[in-house]
Amino acid sequence: MERRTIGAAALEVGAVGLGCMPMSWAYASSQQNGEESLRALHAALDAGVSLLDTADMYGPFTNEHLVGRVLKERRGEAFVSTKVGLLVGEQHIVANGRPGYVRRACDASLRRLQTDVIDLYQLHRADPEVPVEETWGAMAELVREGKVRALGLCAVGARGASRRAGADLHDGTLGQLRRVQQEFPVSAVEAELSVWSPEALGALVPWCEARGVGFLAAMPLGHGFLTGRLTPGEGFEPDDVRARHPRFTAEMMAANQPVVAGLRRVAERHGCTPGQVALAWVLAQGRHVVAVPGSKRERWVVENAHAASVRLSAVDMAEIAGLPAAQGSWD
């Protein structure tokens, strides 16, 4: 697989990574299967996928345990990214950016992942009660101690605006990035980017490109919608995050079918799937961009990996740019 570079530390990863979250968090729990997820992780590495993206809060903790089982056998083939800064309570999620907690959380992640170093340690969310520089400083100490190789930040911004609005929706994240960059280099920024959620292209993706920072494109398949495999009105299990998203009502899914139809037209010309076109579009946004689709099944992991070989023409890109903006708010 094509390799891409993350950050000033020149860390190389496959152009397509694997978001491990669906294996134990956020999506239908009845469809989660540990053994199937292990097969998917091994299939990803076999296909040239190296970036495995997880977090301590996924599960919580079970996702890191799962990834750790594979790392124990194939650490040399993987680039592991995990996150710190969020705690899962009984009814809500809270941020914790206190330096002491960051150190303890890192040690716990290392144990669960069965490794002695985390390739990319990301701040999942900044704690509003702790200056982000303090949290980042604690994370930087972990790099100096050899427990972490590089640092990243997960971006949070308002969503749901039209792709044609032109306004950047990540002002808060850009401010955080400017502050922490003065303390220790940012190697990667992870944020949502897809054909139907392109807001990060406004300023966040260019900010990363200008500074040699890697951009990890989360949800590049639009939570599965852009694959064309979701049926409007079919519904989702109560614990599936899509059951509460306005864009995943039967009405909005039907209204956004022209987006999938457009991807399917391009896919037919390339002999691939709409999902692969959606991933190829993300990869075409810059050499510093890495697509991180989430999956828990071997079949889809392999299909996503093959998207790295799809090359979209200027005509393809123009056709995708001309698709209708997605309807329905995202929040």
Catalytic center residues:
58
Q: Which amino acid is at 255?
A: A
Measuring CA to CA, which residue among 79, 55, 50, 77 is closest to residue 65? Answer: 55
Cα gap 259→93, rounded to integer Å: 33
Q: Which helix (H) or strand (E) holds 122?
A: strand 118-123
Residue 271: CA count within 13 A, CB half-sphere:
1
Cα gap 202→213, rounded to integer Å: 16
Q: What's the 3-state SS for 299-317? A: HHHHHHHHHHHCCCCHHHH
Q: Which amino acid is at 251?
A: E
Token pair, residue 110, equals 């290392």
